[in-house]
Chains A and B, each alone.
Chain A
Amino acid sequence: MNIPSLTISQIKADLAAKKYSASELAQSALDFAATENPKTNAYLHFSAERALAAARAVDDKLARGEDPGLLGGVPIAVKDVIVTKGVRTTCASKLLENYIPPYDATAVVRLEQQGAIILGKANCDEFAMGSSNENSAFGPVRNPVALDRVPGGSSGGSAAVVAQGTAVVSLGSDTGGSIRQPASFCGIVGVTPTYGRVSRYGLVAFASSLDHIGPFSRNVQDSATVLQAMAGHDECDATSAPAPVPDYSAALTGQVKGLRIGLPKEYFQGLESESGALIEQAIEQLKKLGCEIVDLSLPTTEHAIACYYIICTAEASSNLARYDGVRYTSRSPNSNTLPDMYRNTRGEGFGRECKRRIMLGTYVLSHGFYDAYYVKAQKVRALIAQDFARAFADVDAIVAPVSPFPAFKLGEKMADPLQMYLSDIYTITGDLAGIPCLSVPCGNTQEGLPVGLQILTKHFDESTMFRLAHAYEQSRIG
């Protein structure tokens, strides 16, 4: 079996044809990943025992003639900010270096119920804070497409394993572009579903009102299948939506004739020319498929970065308070007082970016600053959502670039956090509005660096998003 070329449907067919068993596939995938991983550092650790047990269960089902589930036997990786019972979950932080959760995230439970085989946990930026995966306490991830470059972040490991072929699909999390940007940097598909579509229970919180779990895959169909397997209301997450989950595969008709596609002019400013040219080509392709292209404006876009960095840091400063050395967090030794224990544990444990965001967030929530920053940012957020709502009254989908530039070199932007933050300029609006959005590959630069096309639709309309992405993807292949 050639693991890097496998898709979910291929695995399904192969298992049915008894070309190999799920156990054989799991073992091969684990072996392959162990061999390949040193090139990228995309996996932090493997969960071989759990993977093989799950694979055996799939084989047993197949032997009994039962349906092994939507993801029966499919090797996956899970970003290390999503908790896995009995399997270390570090959030790529020294503070949780040895933390073994006693429970599974709902998304993990649902994927395993559908037969998924979790090979291991994917590297990421510490507590999902970053755009290059260079903020991991356990070393950066290298982009499998160009090993001297970053895979994007924060879900860099999740993107890299799929691009590298050390997993068939993976789970990432997106708070401000953390799925779509790495997907575009690594040349694969990455999906941020509607906020509330996938339960956040077990996703270690960075910014609760912005955090999403979403899939990475090598084609649109596979992301649709993974989302299908984990979407839907969860009584453990009060913000998960009770909305019914449609059949996403049924939406992949290839028919997009007559779809009205909006091009927001604000998303084409500051775009590097080569990326811009590829996006233009993609738009031409959509026209050929019969889509109607409409220019539109999302005027509040320019405030998105400021708004995002107030809200996400405010929530982060509170969400990260629990890593205090009292319970599961590694505790700094030799502290004689409680305040010392807090200071030393957190001072030694958190990386620079986490500290920066905790400080920013603490500041914007402080007495006397709350109204000027947090309250105002929430108002701006509402305006951004209104912009989208207005746009979607007229168009079926919005198409835009994912990132102003393709994958950059390791170390290139670490000295300048603001430059780093700008790599998310086109993606954070989707998170702020809570709408579904994805990145689908739309070609490579002359240097061979992938560029992604972003597709955004209205709340809970993942079907249209998948339909458009799939039709576009198929037209490129065909």
Chain B
Amino acid sequence: MTLTATPDQLAKYEVVIGLEVHVQLATRTKIFCGCPTSFGAPPNTNVCPVCLGLPGALPVMSKPAVEMAMLGALALNCRINPTSRMARKNYFYPDLPKGYQISQFELPLAEHGYVDVVTANGPKRIGVTRVHMEDDAGKSTHDGFKDSDRFTYVDLNRSGTPLIEIVSEPDMRNADEAYEYMVYVKQAMEFLAVSSCDMEKGHLRCDANVSVRKWGAAEFGTRTETKNLNSFRFLKQAIEFEVSRQVAVVESGGRIVQETRLFNPDLGETFSMRSKEAAHDYRYFPEPDLVPLRISDAWRERLQSTMPELPAQKRARYATEFGLKPYDAEVLTATREIGTYYEKAVAASGDPKTTANWVMGDLLGALKNDGKEITESPVTAEHLGDLVKRIASGELSGKLAKEIFPKMYAEGLAPGVIIERDGLKQISDTGAIDKIIDEVLAANPKQVEQYKGGKTTVIGFLVGQIMKATKGQANPGVVNDLLKAKLG
């Protein structure tokens, strides 16, 4: 039976969290050979002597992988080391064909970075200790086959897929900070197209180091490492569970054991995988098959100059340039594609705030209903901008626009085409509206009397009648002005 802590007990402890995030790079080929990294090929087909670890085969470092790793590190404000080294991490596992992983140890690609996040408690800077490169292992399947009781199946298609591991400082103090840090990392990697960050496919996974200590204690408590958290929700749940468990253990006079744990999503609990005593000695040493990785200032600067605007920078710009509220800026920078769409639409509309409302409301809503990404939107950014522009210019009422948008979405047509075809143009011509007002006033003498008698609220009824008579196409502003003038 796992103990959980009471709120009073929890309040006595400070939580310390550090994260190790593994990101699968989006290179077309593997890190040490030319095999494709594509997902879903039949087992053991995207392989060659190198990624199969055949006797005599040698790794050769992929330049695109290095550059993506550098971009990732730069996005986390890291310093790229002019010289870094690959190292062998030795352990036995059936899906590890060489008997070692080629990773980095003493001289990682990049160090000394940081990430700025904002939580309910305000802004917070989280240190990034290091970013290093490594190759992924293959995949073991222990069940699902007829003879799974006796055999494990190994697929080495994934073997040699490039990864970066991002190690944070133990700077996070609650699950929310860890969550926001992870969001930042994911968004940054997506924006840079360094990774597709598909968590279901394991492109982004996270190990959480968690410890607790009494407030004011100088030393960190003993930490546990919960491995392979592959969703934001699991990350948060696992941390919250670990904190509660650790506080309860300490409060009941027990001691935390340094160990590796796993998260059971069904129970929302972590459980022990192996203790420190059973931990591997990886016997790291520099990889003799690869020369040190030397990164010149020129190379680094060239990459730096190609860095696109990152989510945080974009949000800041949306606030100052477009006057958006923080929440709106966040929604519109959630992915690089949403930001791109929004900016294109603004360019067409000239009205950032109304455009923001349309993108966040009608468009994202409709896409969500259909389970579509913004890149699959039937309404192009230019068409949406066009629609917003027509509202801003007074050509369309908001109401008319709301009627036009679903047609644009369903048919993929420009607003002008639909307006023309369905005769939905707003009537701003005072002569035409004048005539209709006269007819409505003549048909409703009682309401006219009431208005004149001081009950000015009936004007709403009259406007409604006029709009009805024009099938909503009359410009409401013009209607109001003319009606008030007529009623005196």
Contact = CB atoms under 8 A, between A and B. Distances in A.
Mutual binders A and B: yes
Contacts of B59: 238
Interface stretch (B217-225, B284-292, B430-438, B440-448): B284-292
Residue among A207, A318, A365 with the most chain B CB within 10 A? Answer: A318
Given A105-B56, A235-B60, A318 B281 contact: no
Contact of B55 (A99, A208, A370): A99
Nearest to A378: B286
A83 interface: yes
A321 interface: yes
Contacts of B61: 238
Nearest to A202: B56
B288 A315 contact: yes
Nearest to B95: A326
Contacts of B291: 238-239
Contacts of B58: 200-201, 236-239
B290 A327 contact: no
Contacts of A366: 281, 283
Contact of A238 (B49, B284, B289): B289
A321 B90 contact: yes
A57 B94 CA distance: 42
Nearest to B61: A238
Contacts of B88: 318
A282 B394 CA distance: 104
B18 interface: no
Nearest to A329: B55
Nearest to B52: A327
A321 B98 contact: yes
A202 B57 CA distance: 6
A101 B54 contact: yes
A204 interface: yes
A205 B59 CA distance: 12
B56 A236 contact: no
Given A208-B288, A239-B289, A326-B94, A365 B54 contact: no
A370 B285 CA distance: 9
Contacts of B154: 326
A111 to B, nearest CB: 15
B52 A96 contact: no
A103 B154 CA distance: 22
Interface string A227-250: 000000001111100000000000
Interface in B80-106: 88, 90, 92, 94, 97-100
A451 to B, nearest CB: 33
Contacts of B281: 366-367
A200 B58 CA distance: 8
Contact of B285 (A83, A320, A338, A374): A374
B311 interface: no
A311 B1 CA distance: 50
A238 B60 CA distance: 6
Interface residues of A, number: 43
A318 B55 CA distance: 12
Contacts of B55: 83, 89, 91, 96, 99, 101, 204-205, 322, 328
A347 to B, nearest CB: 14
8 contacts: A83-B56, A102-B54, A204-B56, A238-B290, A318-B90, A324-B92, A365-B283, A370-B285
Interface in A1-54: none
Interface in A302-316: 314-315
B53 interface: yes
Interface in A321-355: 321-322, 324, 326-328, 338, 342
Given A103-B49, A236-B60, A370-B285, 19 more contacts: A83-B55, A99-B55, A101-B54, A200-B58, A201-B57, A202-B57, A205-B56, A208-B289, A209-B288, A237-B58, A238-B289, A239-B288, A326-B97, A327-B52, A327-B53, A328-B55, A338-B94, A365-B284, A367-B283
A438 interface: no
A57 B482 CA distance: 99
A203 interface: yes
B247 to A, nearest CB: 31
A365 B285 contact: yes
B130 to A, nearest CB: 19
A82 B99 CA distance: 20
Nearest to A327: B97
Contact of B92 (A202, A342, A367): A342
Interface string B39-78: 0000000000100111111111100000000000000000
Interface string B139-161: 00000000000000010000000
A321 B92 contact: yes
Contacts of A203: 56
B95 to A, nearest CB: 9
Nearest to A338: B94
A201 B56 contact: yes
Nearest to B53: A322
A83 B49 CA distance: 11
A239 B52 CA distance: 20
The 3 A-B residue pairs with the shortest CB-CB distance, nearest first, are A321-B99, A365-B283, A208-B288
Interface string B97-121: 1111000000000000000000000
B283 A103 contact: no
A362 interface: yes
Nearest to B290: A238
B90 A82 contact: no
Nearest to B291: A238
Nearest to B150: A336
A201 B61 CA distance: 14
Interface string B275-298: 000000101110011110000000
